[in-house]
């Protein structure tokens, strides 16, 4: 159990008049408990739930994961439901009743919980009132704890260094798969538990947003976009770097200079109190000098999800707060010259009034050259 998170959650429960809150998504179970149930993110019907009452807390999980959860629970009671013999919602309802919450006002993640599951939960507890707690948990997760910040700092450097290592490990004539293999090796050598959304896009494929490696051979004047989200404990840090093979193609250095200029402008603007849409408007003005189509956002929160609020976008009037960690990414997928380019970094909105660049292992202010 993460005591600091549970304390904050109980304060929020008191503020909005809740008797209990139930975290049911892999992200928010991990946020409350401090660990990820291994199969829950990929088999999302295997519900793991953290029940936080005013004075007690309990975990409910699938029987397959009971030993894992019990081993990490730190004294929190664990109740298992049988994957093939029980209804997870019936077991959750029984646990809520055992905690004296049969007629309580309970917050849960209605954006996550399937409608059929919620219908069974509500039918099993007709005297309870269920209200959404998604926005409360999302708002809490925007401001990272010191431990979260340190973990995201470490992950940012792992992702960043892994890309630099991968570019250094390949030569013209190698393949995107070779890049992917070198990238994977570095991520694990540095201590990441896993990774998500590896993007290796070279040549014409660099125009495609989210594609993995293929057997395509690296050729002179290729642009290579590589991005990876290294993970530890369910947290992500995404970094993207762009390289060229042997030498840059036509117009690449001019376009890259604009993206790098946007990066440093954004770093100067990201600070407590800065308004997200104002930062995006400044990006549009600078990037617009290229006359190329802009991305609909240039940054987003990150942590237990790849994308979290706030967004540096026209629709978001959020004032940034100290403790927010964001990925920001000046990019253009379609330059009109047969390649795309992207520069993605991790940044902390610092309590000293500025921004701290977390992804500081590989310098990409100039295009990296392979070979």
Sequence-separated (6 or more) residues with CB below 8 Å from residue 250: 337
Place of tokens 């629709």: 315
**pLDDT score of 363:** 94
Specify the residue for token string 């007709």. Answer: 126
Q: What pLDDT does 235 receive?
A: 97
**pTM for this model (two decimals):** 0.95
146-370 shares the fold of 3-141: no
Instruction: Kindly list the averaged pLDDT for each block of 10 residues, start to end, along the chain of length 371.
Output: 95 97 97 96 95 97 98 97 98 98 98 97 98 96 96 98 98 98 98 96 97 98 98 97 98 98 98 98 98 97 96 98 98 97 98 95 97 92
Q: Sketch the domain layout of the chain as residue ranges.
A: 3-141, 146-370
3-141 CATH, one of 3.90.1150.10, 3.90.1200.10, 1.10.8.590, 3.40.350.10:
3.40.350.10
Provide the pLDDT for residue 92.
98
Q: Do 33 and 236 form a contact (C-beta atoms < 8 A)?
A: no
Q: What is the dihedral of CA 189, 194, 196, 201, to 10 degrees?
A: 30
As a whole number of angstroms, the distance between CA 176 and CA 202 comes to: 7
Q: What is the reported pLDDT for 191? A: 98
Q: Per DSSP, what are the bridge partners of residue 348?
A: 325, 356
Q: Kindly give the pairing relationship between strand 368-370 and strand 129-132.
A: unpaired
Comparing CA positions, the residue from 205, 223, 215, 219 lying closest to residue 179 is 215
Architecture of the domain defined by 146-370: Alpha-Beta Complex (3.90)
* Rounded Cα gap, residues 239 and 236, in angstroms: 10
């Amino acid at each position: 159990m993460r005591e600091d998170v549970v304390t904050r959650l109980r304060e929020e429960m008191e503020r909005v008049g809740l008797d209990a809150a139930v975290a049911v998504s892999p992200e928010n179970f991990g946020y409350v408990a401090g660990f990820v149930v291994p199969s829950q993110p990929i088999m999302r019907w295997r519900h793991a739930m953290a029940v936080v009452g005013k004075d007690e807390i309990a975990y409910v999980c699938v029987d397959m994961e009971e030993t894992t959860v019990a081993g990490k629970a730190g004294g929190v009671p664990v109740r298992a439901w049988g994957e093939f013999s029980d209804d997870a919602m019936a077991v959750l309802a029984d646990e809520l009743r055992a905690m004296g919450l049969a007629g309580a006002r309970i917050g849960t993640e209605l954006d996550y919980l399937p409608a059929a599951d919620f219908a069974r939960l509500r039918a099993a507890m007709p005297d309870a009132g269920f209200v959404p707690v998604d926005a409360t948990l999302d708002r809490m997760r925007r401001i990272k704890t010191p431990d979260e910040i340190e973990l995201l700092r470490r992950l940012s450097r792992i992702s960043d260094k892994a890309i630099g290592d991968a570019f250094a490990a390949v030569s013209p004539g190698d393949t995107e798969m070779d890049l992917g293999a070198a990238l994977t090796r570095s991520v694990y050598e540095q201590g990441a538990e896993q990774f998500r959304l590896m993007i290796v896009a070279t040549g014409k494929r660099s125009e495609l947003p989210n594609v993995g490696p293929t057997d395509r051979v690296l050729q002179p004047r290729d642009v290579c976009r590589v991005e990876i989200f290294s993970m530890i404990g369910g947290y992500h840090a995404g970094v993207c770097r762009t390289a060229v093979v042997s030498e840059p193609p036509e117009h690449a250095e001019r376009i890259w200079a604009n993206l790098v200029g946007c990066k440093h402008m954004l770093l100067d603007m990201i600070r407590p109190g800065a308004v997200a849409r104002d930062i995006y408007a400044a990006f549009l003005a600078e990037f617009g000098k290229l006359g190329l189509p802009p991305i609909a956002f240039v940054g987003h929160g990150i942590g237990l999800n790849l994308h979290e609020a706030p967004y540096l976008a026209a629709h978001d009037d959020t004032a940034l707060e100290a403790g927010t960690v964001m990925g920001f990414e000046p990019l253009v997928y379609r330059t009109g010259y047969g390649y795309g380019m992207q520069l993605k970094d991790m940044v902390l909105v610092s309590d000293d009034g500025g921004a701290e660049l977390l992804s500081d292992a590989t310098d990409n202010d100039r295009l990296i050259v392979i070979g």
